[in-house]
Structure 1
Amino acid sequence: MRSRQDIDVRPIRDDEIPDWVRAVNTGFLRPPSVSEAELADRATYIVPERTLGAFDGERCVGTFRSFAQEITAVGGAAVRADAITSVTVTSTHRRRGVLTRMMAQDLAAAKERGDVVATLIAAEYPIYGRYGFGPATTAAEWTIDVPRSGLDPRLAGPDDGGRIDLVDGDDVRKTGPELYERFRRAQPGAIDRSERWWQLATGALVRHGVTWTEPFHAVYRGARGEAEGLLTYTVDDRWGDAKQPLQTAKVTDMIAVSPAAERALWRYVCSIDWVTGVKTGLRAPDDLLPHLLPDPRAAAITSQADWLWVRILDVVAALEARTYGATGALVLEVVDEKGSAGGRYRLDASPEGASCTRTTGSAELTLEVGELGALWLGGESAVRLAALGRVREERAGAALVADALLRTSRRPWCPDIF
């Protein structure tokens, strides 16, 4: 068995992309074969200098990729992020520090570039906390029993002066990006969507190994004719005895910039002839949906879990980038054993702005950098984390002050996976 030092961790070369892709497929338990079509697809977005491989001799046994991303902070600022994906370690090479070395290289490069945070979607919960990441958003999916919902099945359309139009993929590529930008500027935790994202979502580009099925797209326009919401969904083909329709609509994307758009689009999808069930896709845990129905119990949560994880790289920039709903000051002792974000910081915040500086003053709240990541977008409670023993009050009441400053009235949400 080779030692840890014998495993070479470095950015891959162009000629190593096939071996790297094979290792990714192996790690995610997909068929390890690599076709020319898959390589052609990967070549459109793989940047070798931001793609790490761990090599045991000539064999790639670990993979790691990052790319530039923007994430919306509380208040609407777009913050530079290092988005991490395609993380695998081949099962024959676990417990040798391979992931630790890949993570350290990438985060150091991100810090050098000036990225403020790093982000990822964790396939497994226990892994990333030890690298300073904290679960910053949660996602939930509801299944709606339409006949039980209490909605009028004869719904003719929005009753607020707006309208809903079915559109095709070409229309979505024209309308969707600008609408999404309006949405994400108001949604803490939302990330930017590339042109490639919209091509994949509308069938202009089909990922290797995916069988494309054209979805339905519905746009809500307000009384002034401006697009305020976009719903994308598919419908299965299920029938019961005596030709009873039992179709389920599965929502794959729904963005809205007004409550009116949300209400209209959810009512629309629940009013489609033959549809008796709706799967909402992953939504914010405090989504308006259940209470938009006359009987909220008709919407049952079928999945709820952590979603976007955040790792703070620059404490000052991260805390100064967001806004605050209250006025106050707090001295934080941030512990970062595997990075450079540790230290003691004084946060002075108000609705007019905030400043964060290093200080030698007495700490009031001590926490790991991962817990700061969980708190940064406003969805987690410092009081709750203190009760769990994950933050420590050095001054009584400090966790309450942290909640007054950091928590938001609505939960953060990331609608996308990467």
Structure 2
Amino acid sequence: MTVDVRTLAESDYPDWLRALNTGFLRPPVATDEDVADRLTFTLLDRTLGAFDDGRCVATFRSFPQQLTAVGGRTVAADAISNVTVSPTHRRRGLLGRMVAADLAAAKERGEVVATLIAAEYQIYGRYGFGPGAWIAEWEIDVQRAGFDRQRPGPDDGGRIDLVDGAEVRRIGPALHERLRGRQHGAVDRDDRWWRAATGVAGVRAPGAWTEPFHAVYHSAGGEVEGLVAYTADSDWGATKQPSGTVQVLDLVAASPAAERALWRYLCSVDWITKVRTGRRAPDDLLLAVLPDPRAARILTLSDWLWVRLLDVPAALEARTYSGTGALILEVEDRQGLAGGRFRLDVTPAGVRCVPTEDAAELALSVGELGSLWLGGESAVRLAEVDRVVELRPGAAAVADALFRTSRRAWCPDQF
């Protein structure tokens, strides 16, 4: 029988959730509590399932998102999540059908880009996505870090206080919006995100929630500028020497001073010998903050946020650029959603991107343009491995002069 791909009715949701759990290798059940909780934030008209003889065998969900472009403007994004295909139905084109339906609907709605966190690298390039923001995670050897542990407080007149989850829900959203306003690659967080991060939503199994510590940095003027959530163990071992580890869950800093103060604080907690940083930008300030950067051992360096342009002129006009110049791009899009030839003009008066019939100077796929768009990739580097093609000598260098940014894109969130 033909497998039917369609949006969900509410009655489909328990079976869809069972298929989702199957795909993620979780117990293939969907309790009434799970269904009721997840339906509170699931948009059924943006949730797809593939049904074979009435049984759900593939899942796909999207939701509206705000993504910060280079320079601080936000663009409307189609955020994709919960993508699975059951092991019995692999290699039948089900993912392709669901992606095509969702991206076409997103373009019709006027969303500028689509985003996702890719579980596997090889899958999403074929649908026009490219890695736009990477992450790194370090483990800090506290005893080597070089901080004065006898003076653990901020050295700028600020202070750090421990707070509870209710206070985090009160101050966290505005603080994150300040970070998002200056950090390209960051995405918005809704009220449910903060409720889940503080244990009042999304916890469905006994013992599944561990209350973290929350520490807030106030500037010398009393303004909230930083927040960190972390867990810690207190392992002493057989030798009666402390060897505890801090695991950072989230660190939001609206200023470099806040970031410096929070890292210093984490490295001063008694009984802690290691700090795991959680997902940070590859060029995070951490290594510059540590008196001895060799105290930080990298654990992860990986692609994270993938971007798919749906409207090339709108995306290119939404961001700022490092200088001025002009470039004609030939953009290939196998899905037929955003391809074409475009002239990008960056002048002191502003940015303009329009379709053109002039001779192209740089040819690339929409996925490669997605990687360049957030500023973290080099067109010259991609040209050297034939992932972009210079149709005019020097065009890749012009692209780098325009698109590259002084700081890397970073998305602290998983979705």
State the TM-score bracket (shorter-chain normalisation).
over 0.9
Secondary structure, counterpart of 1:18 in structure 2: helix
Correspondent of 1:176 among 169, 172, 194: 172
Are 1:36 and 2:24 an aligned pair? Answer: no
User: Is the CA contact (8 Å cut-off) linking 1:325 and 1:350 kept in structure 2?
Assistant: no
Structure 1 residue 208, shift from structure 2 partner: 2.3
CA distance in 1 between counterparts of 2:48 and 2:337 reads: 21
CA distance in 1 between counterparts of 2:192 and 2:10 reads: 21
> What one-letter code is carried by the residue in structure 1 that aligns with 2:148?
D
Length, aligned pairs only = 414
Structure 1 residue 242, shift from structure 2 partner: 2.8
Q: Which residue number corresponds to residue 218 of structure 1? A: 215
CA distance in 2 between counterparts of 1:42 and 1:152 reads: 46
Q: Which residue number corresponds to residue 105 of structure 2? A: 109
1:9-408 equivalence runs, <5 A: 9-209=5-205, 211-350=208-347, 352-408=349-405
User: Is the CA contact (8 Å cut-off) linking 2:234 and 2:272 kept in structure 1?
Assistant: no
> What one-letter code is carried by the residue in structure 2 that aligns with 1:391?
V
> What one-letter code is carried by the residue in structure 2 that aligns with 1:360?
E
CA distance in 2 between counterparts of 1:58 and 1:380 reads: 44
Between 160-169 and 237-246, the greater mean CA deviation after superposition:
237-246
Secondary structure, counterpart of 2:334 in structure 1: coil
Between 344-353 and 162-171, the greater mean CA deviation after superposition:
344-353
What are the superposed Cα offsets for residues 174-216 of structure 1, whole Å, 9 maximum, x if unpaired?
A: 1110010010010000000000000011112243247111111
What are the superposed Cα offsets for residues 263-285 of structure 1, whole Å, 9 maximum, x if unpaired?
A: 10000000011010000001000
What are the superposed Cα offsets for residues 219-257 of structure 1, whole Å, 9 maximum, x if unpaired?
A: 111111001111110001311233111000000000111
Structure 1 residue 156, shift from structure 2 partner: 3.8
Between 149-158 and 45-54, the greater mean CA deviation after superposition:
149-158
Structure 1 residue 365, shift from structure 2 partner: 0.2
User: Is the CA contact (8 Å cut-off) linking 1:250 and 1:281 kept in structure 2?
Assistant: yes
CA distance in 1 between counterparts of 2:337 and 2:80 reads: 18
CA distance in 2 between counterparts of 1:95 and 1:351 reads: 50
Structure 1 residue 350, shift from structure 2 partner: 3.2
> What one-letter code is carried by the residue in structure 2 that aligns with 1:286?
D
CA distance in 1 between counterparts of 2:29 and 2:100 reads: 29
> What one-letter code is carried by the residue in structure 2 that aligns with 1:268?
Y
CA distance in 2 between counterparts of 1:70 and 1:311 reads: 14
CA distance in 2 between counterparts of 1:24 and 1:32 reads: 8
CA distance in 2 between counterparts of 1:330 and 1:176 reads: 41
CA distance in 2 between counterparts of 1:319 and 1:397 reads: 20
CA distance in 1 between counterparts of 2:258 and 2:230 reads: 16
User: Is the CA contact (8 Å cut-off) linking 2:234 and 2:271 kept in structure 1?
Assistant: no
CA distance in 2 between counterparts of 1:204 and 1:26 reads: 26
Structure 1 residue 288, shift from structure 2 partner: 0.9
CA distance in 2 between counterparts of 1:305 and 1:351 reads: 36
CA distance in 2 between counterparts of 1:153 and 1:339 reads: 58
User: Is the CA contact (8 Å cut-off) linking 1:325 and 1:351 kept in structure 2?
Assistant: no
CA distance in 2 between counterparts of 1:20 and 1:412 reads: 34
What are the superposed Cα offsets for residues 300-359 of structure 1, whole Å, 9 maximum, x if unpaired?
A: 101110000000000000000001120000000000011320100000013542000000
Structure 1 residue 388, shift from structure 2 partner: 1.4
Q: Unaligned 5+ residue runs, structure 2?
A: none
> What one-letter code is carried by the residue in structure 2 that aligns with 1:262?
E
User: Is the CA contact (8 Å cut-off) linking 1:79 and 1:321 kept in structure 2?
Assistant: yes
Q: Percent identity?
A: 65
User: Is the CA contact (8 Å cut-off) linking 1:137 and 1:309 kept in structure 2?
Assistant: yes
Q: Unaligned 5+ residue runs, structure 1?
A: none
Secondary structure, counterpart of 2:239 in structure 1: helix
User: Is the CA contact (8 Å cut-off) linking 1:165 and 1:220 kept in structure 2?
Assistant: yes
Structure 1 residue 131, shift from structure 2 partner: 0.1
Structure 1 residue 38, shift from structure 2 partner: 0.7
> What one-letter code is carried by the residue in structure 2 that aligns with 1:132?
G
- Give the root-mean-square deviation of aligned CA atoms: 0.9
CA distance in 2 between counterparts of 1:400 and 1:352 reads: 23
What are the superposed Cα offsets for residues 358-391 of structure 1, whole Å, 9 maximum, x if unpaired?
A: 0000000000000000010101110111111100
User: Is the CA contact (8 Å cut-off) linking 1:324 and 1:353 kept in structure 2?
Assistant: no
CA distance in 2 between counterparts of 1:151 and 1:227 reads: 23
> What one-letter code is carried by the residue in structure 1 that aligns with 2:388?
V
User: Is the CA contact (8 Å cut-off) linking 2:152 and 2:264 kept in structure 1?
Assistant: no
Secondary structure, counterpart of 1:333 in structure 2: strand
User: Is the CA contact (8 Å cut-off) linking 2:117 and 2:305 kept in structure 1?
Assistant: yes
Stretches (4+) displaced over 3 A: none
CA distance in 2 between counterparts of 1:162 and 1:153 reads: 17
User: Is the CA contact (8 Å cut-off) linking 1:324 and 1:351 kept in structure 2?
Assistant: no
User: Is the CA contact (8 Å cut-off) linking 1:319 and 1:376 kept in structure 2?
Assistant: yes
User: Is the CA contact (8 Å cut-off) linking 2:68 and 2:75 kept in structure 1?
Assistant: yes
> What one-letter code is carried by the residue in structure 2 that aligns with 1:213?
T
TM-score, normalised by the number of residues in structure 1: 0.98
Change over 3 Å in CA distance of 1:352–1:171 after alignment to 2? farther
